[in-house]
Amino acid sequence: MPNQNKISQFVDKVLNQDALEGMQLLPDESIDLIVADPPYNLGKDYGNDSDKQESEAFLRWTEEWLSLAISKLKPNGSLYIFATWRYSPEIFVFLKSKMIMLNEIIWDRRVPSMGGSTRRYSSVHDTIGFFAKSKDHYFDLDSIRIPYDEETKKARSRSIFVGKKWLEVGYNPKDLWSVSRLHRIHAEREDHPTQKPLEIIERMVRASCPENGIVLDPFAGTGTTAIACLLNKRRYITYELNPEYYEMILKRIKRKSNFFLESPSLPVNGDSKKQQDNQMPLLFGFNS
């Protein structure tokens, strides 16, 4: 039976809920962009065992939530997924059976040249898969162009370059993104083991979601996707299972804008009796 819920009741919300349960309530083909930073299965401590699964179980779980998430994307929607080299081959092969792969983006974390393994090369990057549901996917290149410096513009001063749009508005970012990881003394840093820089998420949101479009983040972490949406006139739906991280997100959003807490009355799955009785998600949304 088709999902009859309206997307408006979920938009601009942070939900303290398992994304696999929460996403089932979303209407199909209602989301413009998915930004997913799931557990890498490297044994990190997220306050639960989500990052400590056997490889086969982890990949089954990954395929389950990805299949559900993809069904919520609009026909011109797209998806970014952070991954590690250990599992990105399997994850990307699965996604290529469902979507069009546009890029494998390498995030160079600018890790200092010290320490590391003595039996193999040190790992200093994360892998990001960029996928689209169709060839007609939304992509606004102009919103993310990188300006040329004045020296470069001066070198292109010959008449054949005068008035060229690309020289004035900048160049297309490449598929190697060199952005420093967030060190503990960084002003943006929250108490989370794998927080992603706002600069990276903002690029994804600007390029792949139109203004007032909806971004879905199944693993909110510190709420960086929500912040990127607030700063760039996009709407968001985010899920975070860990109650401590959930509270962190609410505080972080409050520092950015005038928000309020409300106690919703949302539908829950028939199999979610325990959650209905004990864990109805608190929401955070626009005061509209």
- pLDDT tens-digit readout, 54-83: 889 999 999 999 999 999 999 999 999 999
Q: Please check the confidence at residue 233 and state whether its pLDDT lies above 80.
A: yes
For the ranges 4-8, 33-37, 98-102, 269-273, the lowest mean pLDDT is seen at 269-273
Euclidean distance between CA atoms 162 and 160, whole angstroms: 6
Residue 275: give the domain boundaries. Answer: 7-141+172-286
In this prediction, residues 242-248 reach a mean pLDDT of: 92
pTM above 0.85, yes or no: no
pLDDT at 99: 98
Counting the structural domains of the chain, the total is 1
Average pLDDT over residues 111-134: 85
- More confident: 218 or 47: 218
**Residue 159 maps to a domain:** no
Considering the domain boundaries, does residue 146 fall inside one? no
Largest separation between any pair of C-alpha atoms in the chain: 71
Residue 110 lies in a domain: yes
Q: Residue 148 — pLDDT band, cuts 50, 70, 90?
A: confident
Q: What is the mean pLDDT of residues 104-129?
A: 84
Domain assignment present for residue 156? The answer is: no
The CATH number linked to 254 is: 3.40.50.150
For residues 170-195, give the mean pLDDT. Answer: 74
* 153 lies in some domain: no
Q: Which amino acid is at 176?
A: L
Q: What is the mean pLDDT of the chain?
A: 82
Task: Establish if 98 belongs to a structural domain.
Answer: yes
| Residue 114 banded pLDDT, cuts 50, 70, 90 | low
Answer whether residue 213 shows pLDDT above 90: yes
Establish if 181 belongs to a structural domain.
yes
Mean pLDDT for 87-116 is 90
User: In this structure, is residue 242 part of a structural domain?
Assistant: yes
